[in-house]
């Protein structure tokens, strides 16, 4: 479902997501034949697909990076976010996934404490949401049908470098350490003084945020 404008969009952790006219607000329903143990793959698949779609509009591919699990940054500023709702079925299977894509194509709304970006703000001519959505859906279909080891490798190539300082907030805890990659299930690996920890949920802040 494509919305041309949202006035009460929902972001991660109960935050609002502003989506003025000209930006993309797209929800996609998927019914993968997958176990709940594979749930950690889908934010990476979705983020990589969105990255694929955006790269065709950027003259400098290196300017776009992915941040675990669902953010895309343009020169270090938030360009897009993805919110995924997982609906569980019987036998610990995924009954459905709702992928909510929000992309600042034309406007970069202000977010307190965060730097934001838009394609138009980079001096580029942004595509209309109606034009961008089919491109994204095509890339998403490709990434959904790809083996996860390949998705994981491609995601890591577009992420911030290994060793980047990260802060992870979640479950009432704050962990700080260095980015050590992803495990085979798509969980974030964080190198801390207590050793490398695999993180399945949380908000990630780069050392510069």
Please report, for the domain that includes residue 60, its CATH number: 3.30.930.10
Q: Are residues 29 and 12 in the same domain?
A: yes
pLDDT tens sequence across 86-114: 999 989 999 999 999 999 999 998 877 78
pTM of the model: 0.90
pLDDT of residue 123: 94
Q: Determine the Cα–Cα distance for residues 44 and 68; give it in Å rounded to an integer.
A: 8
Q: Are residues 81 and 178 in the same domain?
A: no
pLDDT of residue 40: 92
Residue 12 has pLDDT above 90, yes or no: no
Q: Are residues 136 and 183 in the same domain?
A: no
pLDDT tens sequence across 28-42: 999 999 999 999 999
In this structure, the dihedral spanned by the alpha carbons of residues 31, 134, 62 and 190, taken in order and rounded to 10 degrees, is -20
pLDDT of residue 173: 84
Residue 8 has pLDDT above 60, yes or no: no
**N-to-C CA span, the chain:** 32
Residue 54 has pLDDT above 90, yes or no: yes
* Segments forming the whole domain that contains residue 28: 2-158
Measured between alpha carbons, how far is residue 44 from residues 8, 154, 190 in Å? 26, 10, 17
CB 136 within 8 A of CB 8: no
pLDDT of residue 11: 54
Q: Are residues 142 and 176 in the same domain?
A: no
CA gyration radius for the chain?
Answer: 16
Q: Are residues 111 and 177 in the same domain?
A: no
Q: Are residues 16 and 90 in the same domain?
A: yes
Query: What's the whole-number average pLDDT of the chain?
Result: 90
CB 67 within 8 A of CB 206: yes
Q: Are residues 135 and 183 in the same domain?
A: no
Residue 15 has pLDDT above 60, yes or no: no
CATH of residue 200:
2.30.30.100
Q: Are residues 172 and 134 in the same domain?
A: no
Q: Are residues 143 and 188 in the same domain?
A: no
Number of domains the chain is built from: 2
Q: Of 158, 178, 194, which residue sits at a domain end?
A: 158
Q: Are residues 134 and 201 in the same domain?
A: no
Q: Are residues 136 and 192 in the same domain?
A: no
pLDDT tens sequence across 126-179: 999 999 999 999 999 999 999 999 999 999 999 999 999 999 998 788 999 999
Residue 19 has pLDDT above 80, yes or no: no
Two structure tokens written together for 123: 């001096």
Q: Are residues 91 and 185 in the same domain?
A: no
For β-strands 165-170 and 94-103, DSSP reports them as unpaired
């Amino acid at each position: 479902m494509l919305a041309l404008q949202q006035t009460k969009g929902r972001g991660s952790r109960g935050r609002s997501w502003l989506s003025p006219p000209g930006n993309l607000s797209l929800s996609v329903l998927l019914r993968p034949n997958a176990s709940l143990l594979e749930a950690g793959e889908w934010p990476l698949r979705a983020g990589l697909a969105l990255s694929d779609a955006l790269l065709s509009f950027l003259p400098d591919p290196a300017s776009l990076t992915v941040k675990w699990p669902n953010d895309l940054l343009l020169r270090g500023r938030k360009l897009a976010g993805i919110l995924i709702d997982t609906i569980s079925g019987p036998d610990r299977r995924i009954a459905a996934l709702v992928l909510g894509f929000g992309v600042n194509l034309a406007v970069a709304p202000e977010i307190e404490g965060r730097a934001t970006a838009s394609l138009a703000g980079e001096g580029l001519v942004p595509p209309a949401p109606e034009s961008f959505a089919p491109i994204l859906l095509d890339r998403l279909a490709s990434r959904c049908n790809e083996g996860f080891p390949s998705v994981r490798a491609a995601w890591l190539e577009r992420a911030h470098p290994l060793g980047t300082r990260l802060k992870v907030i979640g479950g009432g805890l704050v962990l700080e350490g260095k980015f050590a990659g992803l495990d085979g299930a798509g969980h974030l690996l964080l190198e801390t003084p207590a050793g490398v920890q695999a993180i399945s949920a949380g908000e990630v802040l780069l050392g510069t945020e």
